[in-house]
Amino acid sequence: MQLGMIGLGRMGANMVRRLVRAGHECVVFDMSPHAVEGLVREEAIGAASLQDLVRKLRKPRVVWMMVPAAAVDATLGDLVTRLARGDIVVDGGNSYYRDDIRRSDALADKGIDYIDCGTSGGVFGLDRGYCLMIGGETEVVERLDPIFRTIAPGVDAAERTSGRDCPRPPSRATCTAARPAPATSSR
């Protein structure tokens, strides 16, 4: 799958590395040309500007932002002028949820989908994977599933917690803790 990545700090750059190693095509942009050049040497496609990044992506485009929360609105404001109906923007930072709702509503009016995807994992995410807290329309999230599966650590990345009841084999199923029946009161 093709993805545009804006923001190539430690996490953004390592997410691109993880995606490229798994066979995804990444077009990358950062305010630092040095960061872009480094990933181009690792088989990413470099972009010199947001306009260049959008131009190099096939429609419908998917653009993931890994920028500081304070820079999201400015980056998004510039980016949206270059996108079209059917494109998807993912905010991979940990923005305030009310801001994400506002952004999603504003982009929906333009026919652009917005996914809020808080991402954690730091510099170790390259090898271990990243924990993702994904919010957005189900259909859009499902379209991005190949990206999310590549970035996430996978169900076998952590040992199962003893005392957990999970009748199905591990997959995307949620395992819940076994709890005793609620106590009743005679009062």
Kindly state the tokens that stand for 74.
Answer: 């400015």
Verdict on whether the full-model pTM lies above 0.75: yes
Kindly state the tokens that stand for 82.
Answer: 């270059």
Return the CATH number at 94.
Answer: 3.40.50.720
| 163 assigned to some structural domain | no
Q: What are the tens digits of pLDDT across the range 4-42?
A: 999 999 999 999 999 999 999 999 999 999 999 999 999
User: Residues 64, 88: contact at Cβ < 8 Å?
Assistant: no
Kindly state the tokens that stand for 11.
Answer: 């996490």
Q: What are the tens digits of pLDDT across the range 33-73?
A: 999 999 999 999 999 999 999 999 999 999 999 999 999 99
| 68 assigned to some structural domain | yes
Distances in Å between the Cα of 106 and the Cα atoms of 53, 77, 112, 114 are 22, 11, 9, 9
Structural domains of the chain, count: 1
- Cα 149 vs. chain centroid, distance in angstroms? 10
| 187 assigned to some structural domain | no
| 182 assigned to some structural domain | no
E-assigned strands of 45-170?
45-46, 62-65, 88-91, 113-120, 131-135, 164-165
pLDDT computed for residue 123 by the predictor: 79
Q: Which residue stretches of 22-137 are H helix?
A: 33-40, 50-56, 72-80, 97-108, 125-128
Mean of the pLDDT values across residues 151-171? 67
| 110 assigned to some structural domain | yes
| 162 assigned to some structural domain | no
| 184 assigned to some structural domain | no
pLDDT computed for residue 35 by the predictor: 97
**CA-angle at 100, arms to 95 and 104, nearest 5°:** 150
Residue 178 phi/psi, 5-degree rounding, is -70, 130
Structural domain boundaries, residue 16? 2-157+169-177
- Give the Cα separation of 52 and 77 in Å (integer): 16
| 95 assigned to some structural domain | yes
Q: What are the tens digits of pLDDT across the range 94-136?
A: 888 899 999 999 999 999 999 999 999 987 899 999 999 999 9
